[in-house]
Structure 1
Amino acid sequence: MYRITKEFHFSASHQLSHLPPDHQCARLHGHNYIVVVELAAADLNADGFVRDYHELAPLKTYIDDGFDHRHLNDVLAQASTAENLARHFFDWCRARWPEVTAVKVSETPKTWAEYRP
């Protein structure tokens, strides 16, 4: 199996107001997010790729237009956790590229959430 990944970045604020008031994530705060999309295929295409990285440009546009420097509570219907972001980006990507196998989202250099069906 061949696997490739591509990384995207954005900055945004959010607030997990459903948490107890003394929880640090209940306060308004922001992160410099990293999104990593993973694609896999048993065979390479005629160009020797799982998929040409250039074809993933629409994800950068989607992130830049809809998530970068936004308040995520206004963007997502569900709680704006890294886990929910990973699922959201996975669903968006998988609808466009069937080779997508997982999406990881980082809020801090030491934390990652991943959605992989």
Structure 2
Amino acid sequence: MYRITKEFHFSASHQLAHLPADHQCARLHGHNYIVVVELAAPTLDSDGFVRDYGELKALKTYIDDTFDHRHLNDVLDVHSTGENMARHFYDWCRARWPETTAVKVSETPKTWAEYRP
């Protein structure tokens, strides 16, 4: 199996107001997010790619236009956890690129959430 990944960055605020008031994530705060999309295929296309990296620019445009420097509570219909964002980006990518196998989201240098069906 061939696998490729591409990394994207954005900054945004969010608040997990459903958590207890003394929980640090219940307060308004922000992160410098990293999103990594993974695509895989058992064979390569005629150009020798799983998918041309240039085609993934659509995800950068989507992130820049919809998420970058936004308040995620206003953008997502679910709690703006890393787990829910990973699933959101996975669904978005999979609808465009059937080779999508996973998406990872980082909120901090030491934390990652991944959605992989």
TM range (shorter): over 0.9
**How high is the TM-score relative to the length of structure 1?**
1.00
Alpha-carbon distance in structure 1 between the residues aligned to 2:84 and 2:68: 16
Question: In the alignment, what sits opposite 2:52?
Answer: 52
**How high is the TM-score relative to the length of structure 2?**
1.00
Query: 1:95-114 alignment to 2 at 5 Å?
Result: 95-114=95-114
Name stretches of at least 5 consecutive residues in structure 2 with no aligned partner: none
Question: In the alignment, what sits opposite 1:33?
Answer: 33
Deviation at 1:68, TM superposition (A): 0.1
Alignment length (residue pairs): 117
Runs of 4+ off more than 4 Å: none
Deviation at 1:32, TM superposition (A): 0.1
Deviation at 1:78, TM superposition (A): 0.4
Q: 1:8-48 CA deviation, whole Å, 9 max, x = no partner?
A: 00000000000000000000000000000000000000000
Aligned partner of residue 65 in structure 1, secondary structure: helix
Name stretches of at least 5 consecutive residues in structure 1 with no aligned partner: none
Q: 1:47-82 CA deviation, whole Å, 9 max, x = no partner?
A: 000000000011000000000000000000000000
Give me the identity figure in percent: 85
Question: In the alignment, what sits opposite 1:63?
Answer: 63
